[in-house]
A and B are shown apart, each in its own frame.
Chain A
């Protein structure tokens, strides 16, 4: 089925999310929609799927104008969306979730048997062996995604919209998903692929549409674009290439010996010197985040010896780790990094309150000055430091987390997935900030699932596999070397 956006415009308070977008999505094609965060690519997907209604323009199916007032109507017409943030009633089973809108029943009594059978049939259509009676919360993110896709296909979707589907998947899972999308499109399903991961776009898309600030920039067959021309379309400017470090480092700052945590990882030993960026590579579940959390003191069961600048650190308390000079920029910034309902000023100062107060009395001038100093240096884009953090884009939120920890003047920065869900422009900036921090003499331990990011930033890489340190690779290591160490092949 051909689906078209015809002059679509959508306004949100304070921002024109889409302005006059017209694109045809052809039957059976994989059409990537890309752009920086805030470019309007997710909004376009949501308008097509009936989650938002446009102020101007309309959606057309095979050139017939249609108007959806709910995602259910869009589903009935054959358009389903696979969400960026998975929306499930996590306490219910797979079958319950799949059929939540239309639970098979007789006079209000749920027919479990029919529900199970339907769910099973739908799951088989996407080649999955997930048990419909499993609780959704027990499934991995990739399996949950399959359930969503099965829901769409099962309801007879002719058009599937994937909204950043791989942002929480491991490399293997992502590859499997891309394979499935190819199969679906070969079977005639029109697939819209909203993403800013260029490697994936080039791997599967037939055509690509680029949006910038809510406006259409271009739609091109994938053969006519290159990664750099695509990025240029997305950001509207050339990006600077990454610079190489000079390889001269100072004294060891972070020394970890025999660090273990039962069931998570064991016997990790590493050293990070002043000015050095050491990468922790590994598949999801290899224990990278857990190592950082142990050094930071969040994991109370961790054993082993950690010392910072020669002083030994007693593990098990973030307060102790922070006062020893350790900072953690956590993987999940919304859960662990920020209080979304507080302002930039409040978030930026939260880790240094004692320094900004006398006898518990906050010096608000000093607070504003400190926060402003760091948010300026990190080029956080916001109306003022009194803006709520929850309203900022992912990249700016991440910069606020970085600012908060740079303000502590920590000697050791543990940085976990710094650019997840961050747009291309902000990513380059954050990379620059991490390099700057290292250049100023900080010891940086970097966790990332983004291979180019690791290779661009790290002076060395330590590879973990299933909680064990398996390799140490230098800057020159190739992507294949790193991947094979991670996967153990």
Chain B
């Protein structure tokens, strides 16, 4: 909770910097001068970009809290997107709900596969998901013949529906993200399964001695991670209008980074879903900031990498100070 105050402060600070220094442009329709950063279009755009990471980061947080890791999450995204697009094309469907169901289905399938292997094989999740990371992407590559597959128009219209907002604004991904984060947070904090995930991640031995059904608990978090990747894939493929086996390449690391910046402990047992969202938001803000402040884009990775390390170090420092204060007070 307190950790997120620090993260929130950093995000606000960065936002202020962007408001002040990102420059302005003249809106073509209204003729008014607006900030390059602080305008509805840019803000919704940032939330949209965040949503792809953050939805996956929810599942990743649960996985890491349980003491594991899911490296295959980006590949599940690609597989779900490609699988959905191919099935829609082959069946001649164009309903966005069918597309959503397909993406969720493929995501869950991949999650069940990961979860079952982690729960039963006794191999470290890093290795299991390192393997499936290539397998899933490889399957997507083979079935799509390495081509980009178009998504039916109505599906794109669904994801880009302006709803109650003005023309050109696309709040659907952000809304889905909000719902998924809410669901994830409730799952972790208010359900018995969430509590069990925390216990298994905190001390797997003690959890076993308390009679918890460990294989189900472990499998469960990978299934949720798969679900998140499926939903993110639906939003992504629909939003961009196509799916390819190269989608979300390397996203697993952005997603892990989001979770870690958000305060999840790689040792398991500690982490919050809202923190992961803030972590994802910070990373997207940094990427946007580089563009808006007209910094050399070639430095993007260097800046993001350094920012992650700094964020985590500051976070730990803050937590330690807070701990001292609580003990003394």
Contact = CB atoms under 8 A, between A and B. Distances in A.
B198 A342 contact: yes
B270 interface: yes
Contact of B190 (A341, A349, A362): A362
Interface string B214-247: 0000000000000000000000000000000000
Given A342-B269, A350-B212, A335 B203 contact: yes
Give the interface size class of chain B: 20 to 34
Contacts of A14: 327-328
Contacts of B198: 339, 342, 346
B209 A330 contact: yes
A404 interface: yes
A353 B209 contact: no
Interface string A351-362: 101101100111
B205 interface: yes
Given A14-B327, A322-B211, A342-B198, A335 B191 contact: no
B4 to A, nearest CB: 18
A318 interface: yes
A382 interface: no
Interface in B262-287: 269-270
Contacts of B191: 357, 360-362
A13 B328 contact: yes
A364 B195 CA distance: 11
B183 interface: no
Interface centre among A13, A346, A356 (most CB of B within 10 A): A13
Contact of A339 (B192, B207, B323, B327): B207
Nearest to A361: B191
A350 B199 contact: yes
Interface string B295-329: 00000000000000000000000000001100110
Interface residues on A, range: 20 to 34
B208 interface: yes
Contacts of A353: 192, 195-196
A322 B193 CA distance: 18
A277 interface: no
B105 interface: no
A336 B209 contact: yes
Contact of A319 (B190, B199, B211): B211
B209 A340 contact: no
B153 interface: no
Contact of B211 (A318, A338, A357): A318
B202 A339 contact: yes
Interface string A166-190: 0000000000000000000000000
Nearest to A351: B210
A362 B199 CA distance: 15
A448 interface: no
B128 to A, nearest CB: 23
A111 to B, nearest CB: 36
A337 interface: yes
A342 B199 CA distance: 8
A255 B195 CA distance: 34
A336 B205 CA distance: 5
A337 B209 CA distance: 7
Chief secondary structure at chain B's binding surface: helix
B146 interface: no
B203 A339 contact: yes
A190 B282 CA distance: 59
Nearest to B190: A362
Nearest to B208: A318
A346 B195 CA distance: 8
A21 B192 CA distance: 49
B213 interface: yes
B211 A339 contact: no
Contacts of A340: 202-203
B102 to A, nearest CB: 27
A361 B211 contact: no
A335 B206 contact: yes
B269 to A, nearest CB: 5
Given A13-B328, A360-B193, A362-B191, A341 B209 contact: no
Nearest to B187: A360
Contacts of B192: 353-354, 356-357, 360-362
A328 interface: yes
Nearest to A358: B192
B78 to A, nearest CB: 32
Nearest to A318: B211
A323 B206 CA distance: 17
Contacts of A322: 211
Contacts of A360: 191-193
Q: Which of B191, B203, B210 has the most CB of A within 10 A?
A: B210
A419 interface: no
A336 B206 contact: yes
B132 to A, nearest CB: 28
A237 B192 CA distance: 43
A99 interface: no
A361 B190 contact: yes
A321 interface: yes
Interface centre among B192, B205, B327 (most CB of A within 10 A): B192
Interface string A207-247: 00000000000000000000000000000000000000000
A329 to B, nearest CB: 10
Interface string A15-43: 00000000000000000000000000000
B195 A318 contact: no
Given A353-B192, A362-B190, A404-B210, A335 B205 contact: yes
B190 A350 contact: no
A341 B269 contact: yes
Nearest to A297: B211
Contacts of B202: 339-342
B209 A364 contact: no
Nearest to B325: A13
A364 B208 contact: no
Nearest to A357: B192
A342 B210 CA distance: 14
Nearest to A364: B190
A296 B193 CA distance: 23
Nearest to A14: B327
A328 B206 CA distance: 11
Given A357-B191, A360-B192, A350 B210 contact: yes
B217 to A, nearest CB: 11
A70 to B, nearest CB: 22
Given A318-B211, A335-B205, 9 more contacts: A13-B324, A318-B208, A338-B203, A338-B206, A341-B269, A346-B195, A350-B195, A353-B192, A364-B190
Would you list the 7 A-B pairs with minimal beta carbon distance, nearest first? Answer: A13-B327, A339-B202, A14-B327, A322-B211, A318-B211, A353-B192, A339-B203
25 contacts: A318-B211, A321-B211, A323-B211, A328-B209, A336-B209, A338-B206, A339-B199, A339-B202, A339-B203, A339-B207, A339-B269, A340-B202, A340-B203, A341-B202, A341-B270, A342-B199, A350-B196, A350-B207, A351-B211, A360-B191, A360-B193, A362-B191, A362-B195, A364-B190, A404-B210
